[in-house]
């Protein structure tokens, strides 16, 4: 079974530039998450989708971050304009959202460096 | 919202010894508590989880205990091996929504 795919793996930009990350979840997984992981910290939830609807975006800095999940499959996370403090690994995860398993399957992440 | 605290931040043990990582959570409504292992350059991977209707769960060398009254849960790894070296995260959520992670514990198992 193919895992969660993310791209690009690495991105370096200057502050005030924009960047976009792409995620393809495991086939059949209805729920998709974007997490921000700053070096030395645990993942912080940015946004959670159920199919193509937003379940929780309370921690998403909406003045600069946006995310969409068209057709309930792939998702993109955009940052515009980027700040130095946005340097982090952006992790995408997906899950079945059934009652039996709550397991999140993570991709390898997209590492962003803002200079 | 939920707040998860994790201790210690680093842990070093000799191969064959046991390792214990502890977490506390703030929201009494949380009912799902997974543990994830993250190796360098990879995303976190689930190693064990426990739901609030169970006090303990074991899977080979790994066990998790949950004390709902005290709102804390712990990961126990016995007979540690060098390949157990990684960063471990605890997490808590309400019915799989809004999963909050602890800050992580870097475990080093010395041969």
Mind giving me the DSSP string for B21-85? Answer: EEEEES-TT--EEEEEEE-TTS--EEEEEEETT-SEEEETTEEEEEETTTTEEEEEE-S--GGG-
Mean pLDDT of B62-83: 96
Cα of first residue to Cα of last residue in chain A, in angstroms, is 37
Mean pLDDT of A103-113: 95
The answer, yes or no, to whether residue A51 has pLDDT greater than 90, is: no
The answer, yes or no, to whether residue A97 has pLDDT greater than 70, is: no
pLDDT band at B70 (very low <50, low <70, confident <90, very high): very high
Mean pLDDT of B95-105: 86
> pLDDT at position B16, please?
97
Decide if A28 contacts A44 (C-beta within 8 A): no
Q: Please list every residue in chain B whose beta carbon sits closer than 8 Å to the beta carbon of residue A107.
A: 43
Closest residue in chain B to residue A92, using alpha carbons only: B43
In this complex, is the C-beta atom of A54 within 8 Å of any C-beta atom belonging to chain B? no
* Rounded Cα–Cα distance for residues B50 and B61 (Å): 15
Q: Please list every residue in chain B whose beta carbon sits closer than 8 Å to the beta carbon of residue A41.
A: 103-104
> pLDDT at position B99, please?
85
Each residue's pLDDT tens digit, B9-46: 999 999 999 999 999 999 999 999 999 999 998 999 99
Q: Which two tokens stand for residue B3?
A: 């707040």
List helix spans (H) across A1-115: none
Handedness of CA A3, A13, B37, A35 (dihedral sign): negative
Closest residue in chain B to residue A99, using alpha carbons only: B95
In this complex, is the C-beta atom of A53 within 8 Å of any C-beta atom belonging to chain B? no
Q: What percent of chain A is helix, strand and coil (3-state, nearest 5)?
A: 5, 50, 45
* Rounded Cα–Cα distance for residues B102 and A50 (Å): 24
Percent of chain A with pLDDT over 90: 77
* Rounded Cα–Cα distance for residues A29 and A58 (Å): 22
């Amino acid at each position: 079974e193919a895992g969660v795919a993310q791209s690009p793996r690495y991105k370096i930009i200057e502050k005030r530039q924009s960047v976009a990350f792409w995620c393809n979840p495991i086939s059949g997984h209805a729920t998709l998450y974007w997490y921000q992981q700053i070096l030395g910290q645990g993942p912080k939830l940015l946004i959670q989708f159920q199919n193509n609807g937003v379940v929780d975006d309370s921690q998403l800095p909406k003045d600069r971050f946006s995310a969409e999940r068209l057709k309930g499959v792939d998702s993109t996370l955009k940052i515009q304009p980027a700040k130095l403090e946005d340097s982090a690994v952006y992790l995408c995860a997906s899950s079945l959202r059934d009652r039996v398993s709550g397991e999140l399957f993570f991709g390898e992440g997209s590492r962003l460096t803002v200079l | 919202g939920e707040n998860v605290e994790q201790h210690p931040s680093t842990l070093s043990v000799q191969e064959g010894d046991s390792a214990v990582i502890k977490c506390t959570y703030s929201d009494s409504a949380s009912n799902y508590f997974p543990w994830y292992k993250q190796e360098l350059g990879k995303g976190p991977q689930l190693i064990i989880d426990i739901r609030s209707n169970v006090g303990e769960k074991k899977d080979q060398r790994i066990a998790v205990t949950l004390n709902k009254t005290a709102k804390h849960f712990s990961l126990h790894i016995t007979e540690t091996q060098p390949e157990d070296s990684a960063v471990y995260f605890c997490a808590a959520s309400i019915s799989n929504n809004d999963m909050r992670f602890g800050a992580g514990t870097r475990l080093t198992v010395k041969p």
